[in-house]
Structures are given as structure tokens and as C-alpha cells.
Amino acid sequence: MPEIPELEAIREFFTEHLPGKPILSAEARIPVVIRTPARDVRETLAGDKFGPLLRHGKFLLFPLASNRVLAINPMLTGRFQYVPAEKKPAAKTCLIVHMEGGRDVRYADERLMGKIYMVPAGALDGIPNWATNGPDLLDPKFTEDAWMAGLKRYRGAIKGIITNAEFVQGVGNAYSDEILWEAKINPYTPKTKLAEDDLRALYRAARAVMAWATPLVRGAMVKGDILDYEERRDFMRVHRRGGQPCPRCGTPITEITANQRITSFCRNCQPGGPQAK
């Protein structure tokens, strides 16, 4: 699932390559993921232009000169491409936007779980859960004190809280493991058992992990003026590293699978939580 580092890398790339280039045409090839009329996408994008891209939580926002926004949440398996128009589309390519200059912006989604909306620029609140979800982790207004204030509403295991979009947006299963390892906090520790210093350290760890990972992700997915995103996370320290040595202390990384979600952590660096099974 793309999280902040992947989406930030994609946003940066598209902002360098898309703004000001005319759109020639658009193909809504698999309309099921398009939550606004697919005909509008097919028939009204030609002649429009993209502006600098934005990101909000797990949405990429493609502002248009027509004062509309193409908002895409890739969910679990959504993938973006910027490739030559003659390249054969990947299976389950849902949307192709043909750009002047011989390149396509493409969105493919193996499980067709993603969500594409095209809405007026001032109508993003009409997207389901947009107005009720929490702030983006990297929003400058979401300070350490705002993090602490938001946490007061929540109980339960800390990993479940920091991956809850109603608290904070943009953090998913993979990077939450990295954040908790960075902060030396066990993912199963109840928030109420953590000291204020721990919770503040977790905020700083979250910001640090995003800053560390984003350039690594971009290096893996961008080749010159080509973007061909395939999920690559071989640089991660703990996530999906079960049995491998912790890069900080050498203890084998523990992996626990529950509710179709893998949690990876170091029992030595991140003490507490369930006993080994």
C-alpha cells in the first residue's frame, strides 16, 4: 500500500514533469474505480492542464487549470506510471491520460480497490471521510503539541492508533513498524502505558522516518523522466524482516500476523507486548 514516502516521491516527480503540459485525451478503461462519472473524465480532460501536484494523506491531488481536482487514493494495490505512450498498458490499467509530448500518466490497480474522484477545487470535502479524517502527518500545522492533543482521544495499542486515519493520515502498516522501531516502542503497547516523553519521541520518529524514506523510494521508482512504480521496500530496517538481525542490536526481528496484517519489531529494542508464539 503506498504511504507517505511513495506518494511524496510520486508527487515530486509529477510536479517536475506535468504542470503546464496540455492533456490530449483521457481513457477511463475500468470505470469501477472512478467514483464520479467516468464520462466526465473521458470527455472533459482534453485541453486541460495540470498544475503542481499536492498530497493529502493517502490521496494524490492533480489540480487542473479548469479549477477542478483529480483526486486519487490508490488504496492497497494502486500504481502510477509516467511512460511513453507506445508502452503497452499494464493489466488492470484503469485510467490513461495522454499528455502532449508523447507521455502518458497511467493508474493501474490489480485489485481495483482504488478511488478516483474529479471534483471542483473547493469541493474536496464531498469525498467520503475527507472532512472527518485527521490531519496529514506532514501538515506544518500538525505540530508535536497538536499530536499530543489528538492522542488524548485514543486508547488501545499504539500501532493501531498511528495507523488510524481519524487520528493522522498517511501512515500505514509498513511505515508504522519503522516509526515504532525508530522510537523504540513496542507496537502492542497500550497508549495509556506510554509516558509523555515516549509519545513525543514517537512524533519526532514519524517525521524522521518519512524524511529518511522518501528519497530512497524515489531512487527506486524514477529513471530519468520515466516513473514506473513497483513497490520496493528492501531498504526497510524491520518491516517484513522477520528472523533477520535487528540493525540496531542484532536480535532476530519478530513478525506477528493478525487480521491479515504483518507487524515486525525487535523484542530487545522494543520490549513489552505479546510473548513469542
Q: Is residue 135 part of a domain?
A: no
Domain match, 44 and 149 both: no
Domain match, 260 and 168 both: yes
Cell of 181: 522501531
Considering its fold, how many domains does the chain have in total?
2
User: Domain of 100: which CATH number?
Assistant: 3.20.190.10
**What is the pLDDT at residue 258?**
84
Q: Is residue 14 part of a domain?
A: yes
Distance CA 107, CA 100 (A): 18
Q: In what order do the strands lie in the sheet with 54-56?
A: 54-56, 59-63, 68-73, 115-120
Q: Is residue 134 part of a domain?
A: no
State how beta strands 93-99 and 254-258 pair: unpaired
The domain in which residue 86 lies consists of 4-126
Domain match, 186 and 258 both: yes
90-142 pLDDT per residue, tens: 999 999 999 999 999 999 999 999 999 999 999 999 999 999 999 999 999 99
15-65 pLDDT per residue, tens: 999 999 999 999 999 999 999 999 999 999 999 999 999 999 999 999 999
148-189 pLDDT per residue, tens: 999 999 999 999 999 999 999 999 999 999 999 999 999 999
Q: Is residue 214 part of a domain?
A: yes
Cell of 209: 522516518
For 253, counting Cβ atoms within 10 Å of its Cβ (0-12 exposed, 13-18 middle, 19+ buried), the class is: buried
Domain match, 14 and 120 both: yes
User: Domain of 212: which CATH number?
Assistant: 1.10.8.50
Cα torsion 15, 17, 20, 24 to 10°: value is -120
Q: Is residue 32 part of a domain?
A: yes
Q: Is residue 166 part of a domain?
A: yes
Domain match, 182 and 239 both: yes
Domain match, 176 and 206 both: yes
Domain match, 150 and 261 both: yes
Model confidence at 212, pLDDT cuts 50, 70, 90, reads very high
Domain match, 170 and 259 both: yes
State the angle between helix axes of 173-183 and 196-221 in degrees (0 to 180), rounded to the nearest 10: 130
Q: Is residue 95 part of a domain?
A: yes
What is the SS3 assignment for 236?
coil
Q: Is residue 138 part of a domain?
A: no
Domain match, 122 and 148 both: no
